[in-house]
Amino acid sequence: MLGRKIHVVFTGAPGCGKGTQARILTEKIDIPHLSTGEILRAEIKKATPQGLQLKELLDKGNLATDEMIIDIVSCRIDEPDCKDGFILDGFPRTCPQAEAMQKMFAEKNIKLDAVIEIQVPDEIIMERILGRYACMKCGQGYHDKFLKPKVYGVCDKCGGTDFYRRIDDNRETVQNRLVNYRALTYPTIPYFENQGLLRTVDGTSTIEAVSKKIDEVLGIDK
């Protein structure tokens, strides 16, 4: 534990490393990693009517509605495991979500420490996303080139031997996700910058080097 509460948002283009860095940080400071993408994918798996609607949106790289996402996040951060803080990954993703988050945090007496933007150019993004896969059992992420399991075909973390690739990780969908990022999510960057909350980290170096920079930004000494 860190000995203080920490509330942090990871933002940035698809594939910039939000999930990778959030997972590393959560292991160091033991606070939950709340990925709205993962929450939505879990809903899709249940095949509920809402899940089927979401599947149509996510498979094409389009966003879920602000109302739904805001409601999901508001309920999730009320759960007991969030009492010492949390890492939000992929939320807020639009200006209305950013404004709703600020309002929600004020009502719940939560202090936002930082919004960390992981900056990676588009040409790197495509290679990162198209090479990504994850362990079916524990969700640990890997990459064909940048992050291979120590033993071929065996998850380092849980020993699982089944892996999957995300349906939205294809070239066409990634192009659309990038278009949506620029149009809808990027405008939240100046919004947080104006409030003195934005910390931009260069995401083009190695996973370990990016993690070190994030630790420095958050004042984590590990």
> Known catalytic residues?
18, 93, 132, 166, 177
Strands (E), the chain: 6-11, 33-35, 85-89, 114-119, 132-135, 141-143, 163-164, 198-202
Q: Assess 57 for contact with ligand AP5 (CB under 6 A).
A: yes
Q: Distance between alpha carbon 27 and the CA centroid of its chain, in Å?
A: 15
Q: Which amino acid is at 77?
A: I
Cβ proximity to ligand AP5: between 4 and 45 the closer is: 45
Q: Mapping DSSP to helix (H, G, I), strand (E, B) and coil, where does residue 161 land? A: coil
DSSP characters over 169-186: -SHHHHHHHHHHIIIIIT
C-beta closer to ligand AP5: residue 17 or 160: 17
How big is the site for ligand AP5, counted in residues (CB under 6 A)? 35
Per-residue x/- mask for ligand AP5, residues 82 to 111, rule CB under 6 A?
Answer: --------xx-x---x--------------
Q: What is the DSSP letter of 82?
A: G
Which of 31-39, 78-86, 150-158, 188-196 is the region at the interface with ligand AP5 (rule: CB under 6 A)? 31-39
DSSP letter at 16 equals S
Q: What are the residues binding ligand AP5 (CB under 6 A)?
A: 14-20, 35-37, 40, 57-58, 61-64, 69, 90-91, 93, 97, 128-129, 131-132, 141, 143, 146-147, 177, 203, 206-207, 210
